[in-house]
């Protein structure tokens, strides 16, 4: 068994334990393997192990890897490969993003709603978009302000964009639990079922607080260079 195969098993076991402790079903939490900076050769062992859900944070990088990997793994009984964008998106790359990805976790401003809606109409392809919330009110981070969630949600839906939930990246180096709990409350207030939260260092806490998608890179692939 390859190293990343073992890491996948370990993460899945930790996920199952955390779900059980929270009295949640393990299948209600999905693992997005964050493959940014990893080469196709580093990614293949996870695909070979049957994992099908991945995340990237840059359009260009994803375009250089995923069309080929999708084709390589399109057959078989594991279902299709799914790739989500988890990084900030410039409006001028909206069309490329809609073509490349199966979901976008970084919808954070009205101008991007407009660009994505236009791209979806043009390509006749609809993909779900999660609203990213700047949960720690950090100036350097992407995400909309907490007070703007409802209007952004309304704008996206009016433009025909499906919004299943909220996403956040809490401030580094502090206990993430209060931020995860806040995101969960905001999702509930807006009747949104999905929560994209939790990374390698804190996904068990995120699961306890209601995450339906966790985004894990380092714990699966090792440290990034
Ligand atoms: C890189 C990244 C992750 C994964 O982080 P790890 O600590 O490597 O698990 C999750 N979410 C986003 C938005 C990222 O950019």
Q: Which domain holds residue 127?
A: 3-221
- pLDDT band at residue 2, thresholds of 50, 70 and 90? low
Is 58 a residue whose pLDDT tops 80?
A: yes
- pLDDT band at residue 224, thresholds of 50, 70 and 90? confident
- pLDDT band at residue 225, thresholds of 50, 70 and 90? confident
167: closest CA among 120, 100, 214?
214
Question: To test ligand 1's pocket by mutation, which of 7, 11, 57, 195 has the most ligand atoms within 8 angstroms of CB?
Answer: 57
Look at residue 1 in the predicted model and tell me its pLDDT.
Answer: 53
pLDDT tens digits, 89-133: 999 999 999 999 999 999 999 999 999 999 999 999 999 999 999
Our count of domains for the chain comes to 1
**Would the CB of 11 count as within 6 Å of ligand 1?**
no
**Would the CB of 141 count as within 6 Å of ligand 1?**
no
The CATH number of residue 64's host domain is 3.20.20.10
Average pLDDT over residues 134-163: 97
Q: pTM surpassing 0.75? A: yes
Q: How far is ligand 1, taken at its centre, from the CA of residue 178, in Å?
A: 19
**Would the CB of 161 count as within 6 Å of ligand 1?**
no
Average pLDDT over residues 155-167: 98
| CA distances (Å), origin 201, targets 51, 72, 96, 113, 207 | 20, 31, 31, 31, 12
Angle at 108 between CA 218 and CA 121, to 5 degrees: 105
As a whole number of angstroms, the distance between CA 25 and CA 180 comes to: 19
Average pLDDT over residues 30-46: 97
């Amino acid at each position: 068994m390859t190293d990343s195969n073992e890491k996948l098993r370990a993460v899945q076991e930790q996920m199952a334990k955390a779900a059980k402790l929270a009295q949640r079903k393990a299948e209600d939490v999905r693992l997005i393997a964050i493959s940014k900076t990893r080469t196709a050769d580093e990614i293949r062992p996870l695909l070979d192990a049957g994992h099908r859900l991945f995340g990237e944070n840059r359009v260009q990088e994803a375009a250089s890897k995923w069309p080929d990997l999708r084709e390589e793994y399109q057959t078989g009984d594991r279902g299709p490969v799914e790739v989500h964008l988890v990084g900030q998106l410039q409006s001028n790359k909206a069309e490329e993003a809609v073509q490349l990805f199966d979901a976008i976790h970084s919808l954070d401003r009205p101008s991007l709603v407009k660009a994505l809606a236009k791209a979806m109409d043009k390509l006749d392809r609809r993909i779900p978009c999660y609203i990213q919330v700047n949960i720690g009110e950090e100036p350097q981070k992407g995400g909309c302000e907490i007070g703007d969630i409802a209007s952004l949600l309304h704008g996206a839906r009016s433009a025909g964009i499906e919004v299943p939930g909220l996403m956040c990246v809490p401030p580094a180096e502090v206990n993430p639990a209060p931020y995860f709990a806040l995101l969960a409350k905001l999702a509930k207030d807006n009747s949104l079922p999905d929560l994209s939260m939790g990374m390698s260092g804190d996904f068990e806490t995120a699961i306890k607080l209601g995450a339906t998608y966790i985004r894990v890179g380092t714990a699966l692939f090792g440290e990034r260079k």
